[in-house]
Structure 1
Amino acid sequence: MSQWSLSQLLSSLHEDVQLRLATVRKTFNHPGSKGDASENVWISLLDTYLPKRYQAAKAHVVDSQGNFSQQIDVVIFDRQYSPFIFTYEGEIIVPAESVYAVFEAKQTANAELVAYAQQKVASVRQLQRTSLPIPHAGGVYPPKALMPILGGLLTFESDWSPALGPSLERALTANPGDGRLDLGCVAAHGHFFFDHSKDRYLFVNENKPATAFLFKLIAQLQFSGTVPMIDVEAYGQWLTK
C-alpha cells in the first residue's frame, strides 16, 4: 500500500514557503536585499507550481503606445502564445497583452503598503492592450475580449491584529477602481480574495495559507482563459522612431 500522504505533501509545501519567508525576515537587514529575497521566494513558488504556460518574474510592463508600468515585484505572464518578452541588462519587460496577474510582495501588510500595491496594479491595468482577429481553418474568430488582469498583495506578516479582518478590508476597499486587489496572501495567517458573487472580500484564516493561496490563484487563472492575439506590428512601429 502506498505510503504517500497528500496532506503531508501540501503541509511540506507550505512549511517550505513559510520557513523561507521567515528566514528572509530574520536574516536580511538591508531593506532592499530583504525585499529582493522575499520576491524571489514568491517567484520561485509560482514558477515551480503554476502550469508551464505561465511564467513569473519581476518586470516592467509596456504597451504598444510606448507607455511603461512601474516596476512590478511579481508579474505572471504568458509564455505559450506571446511572441516576445524583452530582457535588457537583467531587466524584464513584458508586453501588456501577455499579462495575467501582477502582485506586490512585501514583508508585512499595512494601509500604506496596500495603497502602494494598488498604485502599482493600476499602473499595469491602465496600459493599452491590443487584440487581433484569430485565423483558423474555417475562417477568422473575432478579436478576443480582453480578460481582467488580476492584482494582489503577498506578504509574510501583517501590522494589523487580526491580520485578516476589518482593518485590511478598509484598506482594500479604499481603491475600488484600477487599483483593486483581487487576492493576496499573508503567509503567517491566511489569504483573501474578492468574491464577485457576494460583492465583497472574503478572509480565510488557515494553517497552510501559502498553499491555499496558490490553489485559489490557479483557479482564478483557469477562468481567465488565454491572452489575446497581440498586434505585433503595433509594437514594430517603434523601430522607425
Structure 2
Amino acid sequence: MSGWSLETLLAGLHGEISLRLERSRAAIGHPVAKGDATEGIWIELLKNYLPERYRVDRAFVIDSTDTTSQQIDIVVYDRQYTPLIFKQDGTLVIPAESVYAVFEAKQSIDADQVEYAAKKIASVRSLYRTSLPIPSAAGVQPAKPPGHIIGGLLTFESEWNPPMGAPLLKALATAEATASLDLGCVAAHGIFMRQDDGNVLEADKRAATAFLLELIARLQTSATVPMIDVRAYARFLKG
C-alpha cells in the first residue's frame, strides 16, 4: 500500500480553499480588495487543477460583431485552438468562440447575487459565435454548432437559513434559460447544479472539491470549442 488516501486528498483540497475564502472574508476590510482576493482564490484553484487545454482569467468577452460582454470574474476558455486573446493594459479580451464557462465570485450568495450573476452570464451567452468547417485527414468536417456555455456563481457563505434550501432553489428558478446558473458552490455548505429535471442542491462538507470535479465532468462533455472564423474579426481592420 502507498499510504495515500484519496478521501484525505480530496478533503485537503477543499479544506485549503475553504480556509482561504474564510480568512479573506474575515481579514480584508476593503470591499474591492476582498472581492479581488475571492476571485483570485477561485481562479488559482481552477488554474491548478483543470487540464492544460483550459485557461482561467478575469476577462471581457467580445464577438465578431464588435459586441462585448460585461466584465466576468472567472472565464474558462480555450487557448490551444484559439487565437486573438487580447491583452490591453492588463485587461484580457477573449473571443466568444473560445469560452467554455463563466462564473461570478462573491463572498456570499443571496437572491440579488443570483440575479446579478445571471445577467453577467447572459451577457456572454448572447454574443455571436462563428464556426467554420474543420479540415481533417478524413476530409472536411461540417462546422460544429457552438456549445452551451456553462455559467455559475461561487461563494463562501450563504445569506439564507437553511443555506442550501428552498430560497436558493426559488432564486435559481427565476432565471431565464439564457441566463440560467448551471453550477455553483457555496464552499461552507454545498453545491448546486442544473440538471435535466431541474435544479439540484447537494450539501457537502467538501464543496469546493465537489464543485471542481463536477465542472471537470461537464467540460469533458463539451469537447472542443468551434473553429473560429478569424476573417470575421479581420474585417474590422478596414474601419
Pairwise same-fold verdict (TM > 0.5)? yes
Deviation at 1:139, TM superposition (A): 1.8
Distance across 1 between alignment mates of 2:160 and 2:138: 57
Deviations 1:26-45 (A, max 9, x none): 11111100000000000000
Correspondence 1:134-153 to 2 at 5 A:
134-153=134-153
Deviation at 1:52, TM superposition (A): 0.5
Deviations 1:179-203 (A, max 9, x none): 100010000000010111xx21110
Letter paired with 1:16: E
Deviation at 1:137, TM superposition (A): 2.1
Write out the 4+ residue segments of structure 1 that deviate beyond 3 Å after TM superposition: none
Partner of 1:64: 64
Identity %: 54
Distance across 2 between alignment mates of 1:7 and 1:139: 46
SS at match of 2:32: helix
TM, length-normalised to structure 1: 0.98
Correspondence 1:117-132 to 2 at 5 A:
117-132=117-132
Letter paired with 1:75: V
- Identify unmatched segments of 5+ residues in structure 2: none
Letter paired with 1:159: E
- Identify unmatched segments of 5+ residues in structure 1: none
Letter paired with 1:184: G
Query: Does structure 1 residue 20 correspond to structure 2 residue 36?
Result: no
SS at match of 1:51: coil
Deviation at 1:140, TM superposition (A): 0.6
Distance across 2 between alignment mates of 1:20 and 1:119: 27
Letter paired with 1:144: K
Deviation at 1:138, TM superposition (A): 2.9
Distance across 2 between alignment mates of 1:162 and 1:216: 23
Query: Does structure 1 residue 228 correspond to structure 2 residue 226?
Result: yes
Query: Does structure 1 residue 210 correspond to structure 2 residue 208?
Result: yes
SS at match of 2:18: helix
Partner of 1:162: 162
SS at match of 1:139: coil
Partner of 1:182: 182
SS at match of 2:168: helix
Distance across 1 between alignment mates of 2:233 and 2:10: 43
Partner of 1:85: 85
Deviations 1:14-73 (A, max 9, x none): 010001100110111111000000000000000000001001100000000000000000
Distance across 2 between alignment mates of 1:39 and 1:159: 19
Letter paired with 2:229: D
Q: How many residues align?
A: 239
TM, length-normalised to structure 2: 0.98
Distance across 2 between alignment mates of 1:109 and 1:7: 28
Letter paired with 2:65: Q
Deviation at 1:165, TM superposition (A): 1.1
Partner of 2:33: 33
